Amino acid sequence: MGMNYDRIRDWILAEDSFDADRLGKCEAVMSLGNGYMGLRSATEERYLSETRNLLVAGTFNRFDEQEVTELPNAADLTAMELWVDGERLTLERGVTENYRRELNIRTGELRRSFRWTSPKGKTLRFESRRIVSLRRLHDIAMTVTVTAEDDLTLKLRSGISARVSNTGSQHFSEVEKRFYEKKTMQFVERTTQSGIVFVLNAVHRFFKNGAPLALDTDVNIEHRIIFADYMIPLKAGESFTAEKIANVNTTRDLDNEGLTLPELQERSRADLRESEAIGYAGLAEESAQAWREEVWDRTPIEIEGDEKSALDLFAVRFAQYHMRVFVPAHDRRMNIGAKGLSGEGYKGHCFWDTEIFLLPYYMFTAPEIARKLEEYRYLSLPGAHRKAAENGYRGAMFPWESAWLDDGETCPLYAGTDIHTGLPVKVWSGIIEQHISADVAFGVWQYGVISGDTDFMERFGYELIMDTATFWASRLEPGTDGRWHINDVVGPDEYHEHVNDNAFTNYMARWNLQKAMEYADRLKTENPALYARLDQKLDIAANYPLWRDGADRLFLPQPTAEGVLPMDDSFMDGEYVDLSKYKAQDFVGGILKDYSLEQVHHMQVCKQADCLVLFYLLEDQFPPEVKRASWDYYVERTLHDSSLSLSTHSVQACDMGDDAMAYDLFRKSCAIDLGPVMGSSDAGIHAAACGGIWQCAVYGFGGLRMLNGALRIEPRLPANWTKLRYTVCWKGEKFAVTVTHEGTQLEKLTHGREIELTVNGRTVRI
């Protein structure tokens, strides 16, 4: 597999060589989707090392009591295998020339082509196209065209196969298979634990030299599979095209609520007939139009400069592409998985990634989507209350990993094996990585301010912030110093577990407590009816003194004499290790090949930014000299073994005035999925890194921040960029920012109320 960037100005990401042992990377980074479902871009023909994923948002299932809930891998619709004079078309045999696979991120279409000569010497040209419709959320469409260079006979096999799993876990029971009139295939399956029924349909149309072609159908219905074989004789120069139109529906879908299974089966077939009549070309065109309207015309970004800047622009747009592919814009009951919908990694669970790394993009570009992501947190409050109660606390203690609304904590207890002991490694994040509750509150606050959505805050937002504050008040532990402490936690840097007074956790907890008091005071004066309702539900009168006492007496780590903010109470006592070897490696986690996780716990080494994320979120609470000293200290000790780390450091480097490092870290962040090295892309793209790339461009180089409810812009354009232009929404208004080395220009794009902001320290109104 070789990434090719020669057509990035045409919005094309290309693969120009084929390696049957390295399929995962392009399957993931070229995945298709529309937020309802994600389709991994496996090839039409099958290979041993492939992963064929069709994941539908929100359809979680638990395989057994020993495993956590995960998005189940639905039946495969994409395989369309060919035989040439009895020989199976596989690029592992014969001769392959002119291989090319391309993802057009502007239109959401995947194309693939090559010239293949079989071991018997028969030559053909192969072309395929595929989309997941952004206009019709349930539709998948694909075509395969074969042009013969010799006289030959093709056999095409295509169908629906449920002979798939999630790395071995089988989540479905077979319900029914039908082949209506030897034309429309229908496969019905049900998840084993959650009881969600999937109805998958597929229909084929055939053409020879562009004219419709009727073919005899050899029907095959076997265990967990339904398929048909078609025989097509071709003369040299003749072409054959197979169109396959499919759709996917589940009983969890909002638009299928209230339907019986027979009604759903019939309606989905009727929808398929409508899509079949439109055909692949029509479906692809209307989907491409939806991409233009919903994404590219609405949230444009432009970067001008040298040759490298073209790849920079493509990387930002690639991130935008995936942030539309994986966001469930259609349903507030769902959120964003750490791998989006591009693979089975992290089982489809959502983390703090949403609030800290992804939510900013949607808040500033598509606030109606951001609201749904935030409403998901409100709807999952019962699980947060349950987790708090199970741990002896009150209020809302949000799960570290979240799935379906009522699943509660879904973080696995064990993952991987200790290289020295050979024992399973305990995952402590679900138990003690508790900053997620403050992160959720911070996301609520950010959305409320940036969008100006008072309805959301009154219905959901204030309650979320106060409920999480109640958790923190109950979580605090008394110390011998007369202060409250937060002991035995994991901060954002997950290389250090069971630490006390993690700076990020403590400062964010205090922020949460203070914000709850601020809103309670405001509502009591400005909206007494809402205050009374919340008081009845949350007992504000009883909890307010606990919030105040917690905020006033919570221990906050203080800078050392050198001005460095300690990450926790023990990090700076750890062993100093020369990390140059691990920083030079072209893969992550190299240190864990030499040391156990327990050993790393006692070293001055960071997996990712910790205190630096704190400076990023609460930048006004720390003086410049503390940020600078801490930056110098932690940059030396950070390995960036998390995909979340590089972008945060890039934005911070902009704040530190280190333009060269900011740009270098940005390029490395872009390479997490687009580069050839990061093997963890095989399990799916890095969703949070997509948000991080956008933040590098807009927050870092573009200088955009929301600070204490006010908007400010302080750009730091890379030396090789001559212009950056981006569009954002602020309190219901929309404006564009154009940054050059000569200055910053603002353009109001809507005609509502005036916008006030600070640009390079000067108050501006537009």
Which residues carry out catalysis?
494
Which residue carries 């070897």 as its tokens?
581
| Angle at the Cα of 581 from the Cα atoms of 578 and 583, rounded to 5 degrees | 95
CA-closest candidate to residue 129, choices 41, 213, 1: 41
Q: For the chain, state the CA radius of gyration.
A: 27
Closest listed residue to residue 94, CA positions, set 74, 66, 72, 124: 124
3-state SS class at 32: strand
CA 187 from centre of chain: 29
Tell me the pairing of strands 80-84 and 87-88.
antiparallel
Integer angstrom CA distances of residue 516 from 83, 191, 512, 525, 548? 66, 41, 6, 14, 9
Q: How far apart are CA 158 and CA 80, in angstroms?
A: 5
Q: Which of 115, 135, 79, 100 is nearest to 30 (CA)?
A: 100
CB 247 within 8 Å of CB 138: yes
Long-range contacts formed by 666-673: CB under 8 A, 24+ apart = 666/312, 666/693, 666/696, 666/697, 666/700, 666/701, 666/718, 667/308, 667/312, 668/640, 669/693, 669/696, 670/311, 670/312, 670/315, 672/643, 672/646, 673/28, 673/29, 673/318
In DSSP terms, 130 is beta-bridged to 110, 142
Taking a C-beta distance cutoff of 8 angstroms, is the pair 306, 720 a contact? yes
Give the span between the Cα atoms of 115 and 123, in whole angstroms.
7
- φ and ψ at residue 586, rounded to 5 degrees: -95, 30
| Ramachandran angles phi, psi of 762, nearest 5° | -115, 130
Beta strand 301-305 with 721-730 is antiparallel
Cα separation of 303 and 306, whole Å?
A: 10
Angle at 633 between CA 631 and CA 637, to 5 degrees: 105
Report phi then psi at 71, rounded to 5. Answer: -70, 125
What's the token pair of residue 160? 């629906």
Q: What are the distances in angstroms from CA 606 to CA 356, 589, 612?
A: 19, 11, 11
Cβ burial 186-206 (10 Å sphere, 16+ → b, else e): bbbbbbbebebbbbbbbbbbb
Give all strands (DSSP E) within 16-151, no chain letters: 32-33, 37-39, 54-56, 80-84, 87-88, 95-104, 109-117, 123-132, 139-148
